[in-house]
Chains A and B, each alone.
Chain A
Amino acid sequence: MTGPRFDTAPLLETPFHPRTTAANRLQNWAGWSGYRTAGCYGDSEMEHSAIRNAATLYDITPMTKYRIAGPEAEACLNRLTLRNLAKLPVGSVQYTAWTDDAGKVMDDGTLFRIGPDRFRLCCQERHLPWLLDSAQGFDVEIADETEAVAAVALQGPTSASVLTAAGFDVSALKPFRMQDYPFRDGRLLISRTGFTGDLGYELWVAPTDAVALWDHLMAQGAPFGLVPAGTEAVMLARTEAGFLTANLDFIPAQQALREDRVRSPLELGLGWMIDWDKGHFTGRRALLAERDGQLSRWAIVGLDIPGNVSAEGSVLYYGKKREAGFITAACWSPTLKRNLAIAHVAARYAACDDLWVEIYAQRELQYHKLMLPVRKTERPFFAPDRRRATPPGRF
């Protein structure tokens, strides 16, 4: 066999790499779907602060992207995913999820309707075999376009100002809408989407234009405090927003090794996505049985925890004694000044009454065991008005 061995070769570089490596003072990289991306450029707290107070660029090229096109693309995607595509106009984006036959979540993602018969599905995990299986019997073509599209997230309160300064008029662009702009000799697609719960955009461009786009944005964005941000800062922002991440907040059904690790959308708080009346979709019968038989075994909840020690990885107890669930994401939120967590609790504890979290707090090498009462709270935790305002605020 010739060619590089993917398991021993260095991870791939994204088209933004010449710029991200130059900016990465720590040379702190993390693997993401076979690519090397910045975990932290220098100071995660400052990068997170920029997400909330200025603007940031975050290289999201490694996000898995599928091109789904053909006369029956809509029908195929309606059979694949939980939501109804008939309600998604061209130029719009849908946050959605899909399940296996047993109604267990395989992934969530964003679905872009680029044309009447053309979509882009962006998600965390790889799904080509499942997508191709799901395409059987439909006049549709599906291809992985992860490498063909470079993408960068521009997030933060000044992000609209950055784009305006860069010559892209996004004043009319509403949340979950997208628009096409000329850029150099090609096109730039800007969607008002993101993973920070803040005002923000995602920019999609040909890999050959990636560096030019980066330079243009950084130059025009400097007066607005634009800096690159790494994954650590973005993950803190997403926890503040209360968004779920595959393999952190749930195990994709196709990857779960233990029978009881899989979760249905009803158990992940994604039941609102399900359009029961759109016709059949994979998992519908199992989910209907779960709904009608009240068979859900888990509930996902947002929690407020006293103090300032992050509850990451902690176990929840009912009446301080009986195990009732566990925490999948947690942080002390610098933005909200609250100690927040996302947790799975057994369905009968979904109200979170008399629920306690056991936290091991490390103080100067030594762990202290804390048993703290938790309070159920709404997700998203952080949802400022500027996130939705159209035209976007000029900060």
Chain B
Amino acid sequence: MPGPFSSTGTTDVVVIGAGPNGLACAARLAQKGRRVTLLEAEPEPGGGARALPDIAPGWPSPALAHLVRHIDPRVEAAMDLSRHGLDWMAADLPTTVLSPQGHLTLRGDQAEGADAAAWAALHRRLMSFAAALEPFRQMPPPRLAASGNAWGQLARNALGLRKLGATEFREFLRLILINAHDVAQDELTDPRLRAALCFDATLGAWAGPRSPNTLILYLDRLAGQIAGGKAALGLPRDGLPGLARAMARAAQASGVTLRTNARVARIEIANDRVAGLVLTDGTAISAPLVVSAIGPKPTLLNLVGPRHLDAGMTTRLRHQKSRGGAAKLHLALSDLPDFGTDPKARLILAEDEHAVETAFNPVKYGEVPDAPVMEIVLPSAFTGGQAPAAPHVLSAIVQFAPHAPRAGEDTARAAMLAACLARLERAAPGIGKLIVKADLLMPYDIERKFGMAGGNWHHGELSVEQMLFLRPLPQLSRYATPVSGLWLTGAGTHPGGMSGAAGWNAAEAILEAGA
């Protein structure tokens, strides 16, 4: 046991982790009059949205996340992000599926090709389901076995589902737990559209399109919005670091004290209450309220530690699934690569639904796929023209990558990179010669650099059995923890993601509890 706890600073609330959710939570609490200190381990705030080191000298830094799918409207409004510099290079990017049989471009419900009508009908239906589910994201999840439910709001949300009408409601019930592959095969014939559906349903998940319950992940994506635009894909000016900067400025304008280079080593508990925390450099900060946005697992298992928790909860936390399946590829390029299509789009490299499933198969066994599928963004395509010699960066989320490879980390990383480059060469012949530097972050690298358990996108898999009142565990689903004064937020809590919704919900729960 460490010696007696004596601190060098005092504040009302400490929020740990300045990712989008930590920023949103801190800002909300500060707006409500709390003295908030936000601690971030890295030199820059932003978490998954922050800029990584420059990929090569002269080539701009990418971020882990590269597209925005959702900004919680409450966060966007209350943090006044546009005033703090959030601006969109593109607020509604098209998607182009790259295929040897010809590329296909999608914009919302508009698709090219013979399946256009089928796609439009499917998209509209799924959008209406997503819209009926969306209000559940903006509230703490309902609880089965305890009081404190917002019954009025729950009833309204449930009624919203029922208002789909008998036929659509039945269709909703049929589809809600189905897998994406079956829907793609039932409703679509064009392999490229099937690929798009299957890719988006499993992006960031540890699941292939044939894995159970994958359609609901697609609905979760469709439920997002940007500045009122539903199911939009946004690219901020300066990329995701631009969003991170705006959020950090807004939080500070609300009165949040942001301390970077401040890595929390442990949370101090005295008499079963939070007393404060200690940083890795030994600095102690006392605070009666700590909100952690770094993920339920590292917060409770590492910063708090099993000895302050019940054994059953510790076990359930250890067993909570948090496998990362997405790797992040960055290429510094001497010129814009030619994919044979307009580069000002999100490019999906997956020829059909089977390509997505096949890329997942080896990962189940800790192996690297031969032909990864990927989502590619070429940010320089949007800025091009300003500087003729603008260095080009390719940013790609590549799936699937093993989080605990059998062959060892370095071997797996090298194999994955080789597989990615081979795949890219087929899609954009000649790209190999443009590469100045290549950098690949495997899930275990992501865990190390960002602290995300297992390198998982959501700090813990977002899967049906870990959603809503099961997220991250039933006992922790209302953002409170068994340790009084300690609260959770971040992507590991309901509803997941980087929209700021989890941060906002947690702040609201704290305020409502009068904690």
- Residues on A close to B: CB < 8 A? 75, 79-80, 100-101, 130, 133-134, 136-138, 279-280, 282-285
Contacts and interface: CB of A to CB of B under 8 A. Distances in A.
B311 A79 contact: yes
Given A101-B313, A133-B314, A79 B307 contact: yes
26 contacts: A75-B307, A79-B306, A79-B307, A80-B311, A100-B310, A101-B311, A101-B312, A133-B311, A133-B315, A136-B306, A136-B314, A136-B315, A137-B301, A137-B306, A137-B314, A138-B306, A138-B307, A280-B272, A280-B308, A280-B309, A282-B311, A282-B312, A283-B310, A284-B272, A285-B272, A285-B482
Contacts of B315: 133, 136
Contacts of A130: 311
Interface in B282-318: 301, 305-315, 318
B480 to A, nearest CB: 12
Nearest to A137: B306
- Residue of B305, B310, B318 ringed by the most chain A CB atoms within 10 A: B310
A134 B307 contact: no
Nearest to B482: A285
Contacts of B272: 280, 284-285
A285 B312 CA distance: 13
A130 B315 CA distance: 9
Contacts of A283: 310
Contacts of A80: 311
By size class, the interface of chain B is: 10 to 19
Nearest to B301: A137
Contacts of B482: 285
A137 B312 contact: no
Contact of A285 (B305, B310, B311, B314): B310
Given A280-B272, A285-B482, A137 B313 contact: no
A130 B305 CA distance: 17
Given A101-B310, A133-B315, A284-B272, 14 more contacts: A75-B307, A79-B306, A79-B311, A101-B313, A133-B312, A134-B311, A136-B306, A136-B314, A136-B315, A138-B306, A279-B307, A282-B312, A284-B310, A285-B272
A136 B318 contact: yes
Contacts of A282: 310-312
Contacts of A285: 272, 310, 482
A290 B310 CA distance: 16
A137 B305 contact: yes
Nearest to B313: A101
Contacts of A133: 311-312, 314-315
A280 B312 contact: no
A200 B305 CA distance: 42
A100 B309 CA distance: 12
Contacts of A136: 306, 311, 314-315, 318
Contacts of B309: 280
Nearest to B306: A137
A100 B312 CA distance: 7
A280 B482 CA distance: 11
A78 to B, nearest CB: 9
A89 to B, nearest CB: 21
A100 B305 CA distance: 18
Nearest to B318: A136
A84 to B, nearest CB: 14
A280 B272 CA distance: 7
Contacts of A137: 301, 305-307, 314
A276 B320 CA distance: 30
Nearest to B307: A79
A284 B311 CA distance: 11
Nearest to A286: B310
**Most chain A C-beta atoms within 10 Å of own C-beta, residue among B272, B311, B314, B315:** B311
A215 B450 CA distance: 67
Contacts of B311: 79-80, 100-101, 130, 133-134, 136, 282
Which has the most chain A C-beta neighbours within 10 Å: B307, B308, B313?
Answer: B307
A140 B89 CA distance: 56
A134 B306 CA distance: 8
Contacts of B318: 136
B269 to A, nearest CB: 8
A280 B313 contact: no
A245 to B, nearest CB: 24
Contacts of B306: 79, 136-138
A255 to B, nearest CB: 15
**Which 6 pairs across A and B sit closest by C-beta, in order of nearness?**
A137-B306, A101-B310, A101-B312, A134-B311, A133-B315, A282-B310
A38 to B, nearest CB: 36
A136 B482 CA distance: 18
Interface in B379-402: none
B73 to A, nearest CB: 37
A138 B306 CA distance: 8
A138 B311 CA distance: 12
Nearest to A285: B482
A136 B312 CA distance: 11
A286 to B, nearest CB: 8
A134 B312 CA distance: 8
B314 to A, nearest CB: 6
A346 to B, nearest CB: 22
A136 B301 CA distance: 10
Contacts of B305: 137
A197 B135 CA distance: 63
Residue of A79, A80, A130 contacting most chain B CB atoms (<10 Å): A79
B2 to A, nearest CB: 14
Nearest to B302: A137
A134 B314 CA distance: 8
Nearest to B484: A285
A223 B253 CA distance: 91
A101 B306 CA distance: 13
A280 B307 CA distance: 7
A279 B307 CA distance: 9
A13 B312 CA distance: 35
Nearest to A99: B310
Nearest to B319: A133
A283 B313 CA distance: 10
Interface string B313-331: 1110010000000000000
Nearest to B475: A101
A80 B311 CA distance: 8
A75 B1 CA distance: 10
A101 B314 CA distance: 10
A201 to B, nearest CB: 33
Interface in B126-147: none
Contacts of A279: 307
Candidate in B308, B312, B314, B315 with the most chain A CB atoms within 10 angstroms: B312
Nearest to B317: A136
Contacts of A138: 306-307
Contacts of A280: 272, 307-309
Nearest to A78: B307
A48 B318 CA distance: 49
A101 B315 CA distance: 11
A79 B307 CA distance: 6
A137 to B, nearest CB: 3
A133 B272 CA distance: 21
Most buried by B among A79, A101, A282, A284: A101
A133 B312 CA distance: 8
A100 B311 CA distance: 8
B296 to A, nearest CB: 16
